Structure 1
Amino acid sequence: MSTDKPVVVYGVSGYTGRLICEYLRELGVPFVAAGRDAERVREVVEKIPGIETADYEIVGVENDAAALAEAFDGATVICNTVGPFIKFGPEVVEAALQIGAHYTDTTGEQDWVMAARDRWGAQFAAEGLLLSPGIAHMYTTSEIAANIALEPGGYDTLDILVFWKGLPTFASTQTIFTILKADWYYLEQNQLVAWDHLSKFDVTVPGYHEQAVAVPWGGMSHPIWFQHDPRVSSVRSFGGVLNRAVMENVGLTVQMFEEQIKPLEPEAQEKALADIAAGLQASMPPRENPRYNRSVDSVHASGPLGRSHVVIHGNSNYKQTGLLQAFAAFSLIQEAPRRVGFASACQAFGHHELLGQLRAFGLVAEPVVTRV
């Protein structure tokens, strides 16, 4: 079994996979909508607005490298949304490498980003393929802001804040609890330094008077993407949702993990965290409403003699993820990325190009830039 469609979206029965398919339809890209349960995938896809105008096929396949390679052979890009990625991602990456396809995913797991880089980055580079984990609002939109902030030159430190309003999806909730088991890092003078898991901060979110609570969210992807960037020596990233009560509970949950679950054996840890995550968000959240589901990405760049601050106000953070993934695939089927092997979205496609797409689809406002 193989396909004549250039793009595979794996994990379409989830919230984000559906949105990627929506934007692939809008960009006119033929795609395979895939998941472990073909009927469940079909039910989701058939509810996509305008799907009757799309060129697509439905595929059911187990999360096994050989099975995935057989089902997706012929594709140019695999967009993976099946997390937690540290648990389910290796098989998909192996399948992509086997069939000669570019690989992107929506991960928020810093340990997976590092594992993917170290295990497969060189192999993908040798084959002229892109390996880009973490193309998603919470990481890429703020990465765009960071690159704008760095443009004048002379800055060496990034302070990144990401906030959004809404409900996490089931997959996002699973990821949040999965990263509790990992070490988290920020970049300090070109060295990765471990966060204290109980770190939290009172922060001022641009556009809001009330202070919010921010946490490191597992370290986020930015310290890894910028680790070998000659412009930058220090990066800290943190964020949260625009609901202080929710974020206070996140802090309590992390504390509970450190005290009660961390001492358990790995199997018992995984079960306890999965049970908690399922209890918090077991169903698909409602479709985003731009009047409510807002996002704020704020980046301070600083150096010995200057400061730069960039804020990107947006809406519908999951739609931003869907569009970023779809545009990445759209670009990859037409031309080679700017960088092969392990690379972030901005490194592979350009931050102005990605910003242009988000602006064109009405998902972010013009960045607010202040330089001192």
Structure 2
Amino acid sequence: MSKPQVVVYGASGYTGKLIAEYLAKRGISFIAAGRSESRLKAELGKVPFVDRVEVQYAALEHTVEALTELFLGVKVVINVVGPFAQLGREVVQACLSAGAHYLDTTGEQDWVIDCKAEYGQTFADKKLVLAPATSWMWNAGLLAAEVALETSGIDSLDIVYAPNGNPSPASTKSFLRMCCQPQLKLELNKFQPWPQATAYEATVPGFHQHLLALPWSGGCEPVWYADDERVQNCSVLTAFTNRPMMELVVAKMKEFADLAPTLSAKEQEELTNAWGESICSTEPPREIEEINRVVISCWARGNTTVKHVVFFNTCGYLQTGVMAAELADRLLRNQHKRVGFTSAVHAVGHRELIAACAEEGMHCWEPA
């Protein structure tokens, strides 16, 4: 039995199962990896299309040695085990040792910055892709930004995400830790921090009322554009339509700001993990297009040029499955556009990734 060329590490989780679904829908066999083979088999047994492809199962320890052994002979690893700043390095190092492309679904800005600084050049030297945050958040805003940058003279991007839905348990842990860490935006080609524990009233197309917004780690768009000569300013806010949830997060951010000076870095991570577990311990239901509608708005301008790009889309988690499967498919066929540290948007192409999501009915072909 030949070894599949894709590993989904953390395949039994909410997002992992969606990635497995869209890989299988494309006819791509994969190895489902995690801590428990019985749980992997039970969870993936519920996933559409998985019975159409070969799936191998692997239960292993979270060590560089065990992961490297699994990744040998594999071309693409999709890591869905977070929080990524806490658990990602072993997987990245194993990918380097095994010679595999690395994708993950993080929303943690600090982890993406660390990936670039610590591993970007090594991946590039080996002609491998290092694409953290291969997910709706933070690629949806990047798609809008790239459409805006088709207009000559644009150099500044103001992006707002407005999702409607509940995060998964893993996402809850990740977003709580990242909201309590320094959150950065790009101003005149330099990273600048957002004010600590501060919320904003955002104006979002399609809503009469203002939505409560947070930097939500600062997003990864400022990181993607940090060395891009086209862009000198980039800021990202996220405005969930669930205001009580946003108010709870703001309260936790303020509590963290008071407690952080008395805690070690390890204790800080343990605290946000515990908060995440207390807020969300069960998987949300599968997204429904008529309910989980989302808005991406990007105001873009230069000295005398302005462009407003708005996408009315649906189902951010499902789009993550599509985006990860699309990039994996192109890597298997050697059709990627970049190596080293990159976003999924830049590795695939923004119009191509829009098309992949639009073909699934989750993304409009052109902005509103």
State the TM bucket, normalised to the shorter chain.
over 0.9
Distance 2:147 2:269 in 1: 39
Distance 2:17 2:309 in 1: 31
Establish whether residue 178 from structure 1 lines up as the match of residue 198 from structure 2.
no
Amino acid at match of 1:69: T
Distance 2:13 2:224 in 1: 27
RMSD (CA atoms) = 1.4
**Counterpart in 2 of 1:253?**
252
**Counterpart in 2 of 1:212?**
211
**Counterpart in 1 of 2:265?**
266
Q: Is the 8 A contact 1:174 1:277 kept in 2?
A: yes
TM alignment of 1:1-372, pairs within 5 A: 4-368=3-367
Q: Is the 8 A contact 2:180 2:257 kept in 1?
A: no
TM-aligned CA distance change 1:17 to 1:105, over 3 Å: same
CA-CA distance at 1:287 after TM superposition? 1.1
Q: Is the 8 A contact 1:158 1:236 kept in 2?
A: yes
Amino acid at match of 1:309: H
Amino acid at match of 2:272: L
CA-CA distance at 1:271 after TM superposition? 2.7
Aligned length: 368
Distance 2:162 2:58 in 1: 35
CA-CA distance at 1:35 after TM superposition? 0.7
Structure 2 unaligned regions, length at least 5: none
Amino acid at match of 1:110: Q
Which 10-residue stretch deviates more, 335-344 or 153-162?
335-344
Q: Match of 2:77, SS?
A: strand
CA-CA distance at 1:262 after TM superposition? 4.5
User: Deviation digits for residues 228-284 of structure 1, max 9, x if unmatched?
Assistant: 111100000011311122212221111111113453233332332222111110111
Amino acid at match of 1:4: K
Distance 1:272 1:231 in 2: 39
Structure 1 unaligned regions, length at least 5: none
Distance 1:132 1:249 in 2: 31
Distance 1:227 1:14 in 2: 32
Q: Match of 2:306, SS?
A: strand
Distance 1:338 1:366 in 2: 21
What TM-score, normalized by structure 2, do the two folds share? 0.97
CA-CA distance at 1:49 after TM superposition? 1.8
User: Deviation digits for residues 297-351 of structure 1, max 9, x if unmatched?
Assistant: 1111101111101111111110000110011101100014211100111211100
Q: Match of 2:40, SS?
A: helix
Amino acid at match of 2:37: A
Q: Is the 8 A contact 2:27 2:52 kept in 1?
A: no
Q: Is the 8 A contact 2:142 2:345 kept in 1?
A: yes
Amino acid at match of 2:228: D
TM-aligned CA distance change 1:131 to 1:306, over 3 Å: same
Distance 1:278 1:262 in 2: 23
Amino acid at match of 2:98: I
Distance 1:99 1:275 in 2: 34
CA-CA distance at 1:55 after TM superposition? 1.6
Q: Match of 2:239, SS?
A: strand
Q: Is the 8 A contact 1:310 1:367 kept in 2?
A: no
Identity %: 37
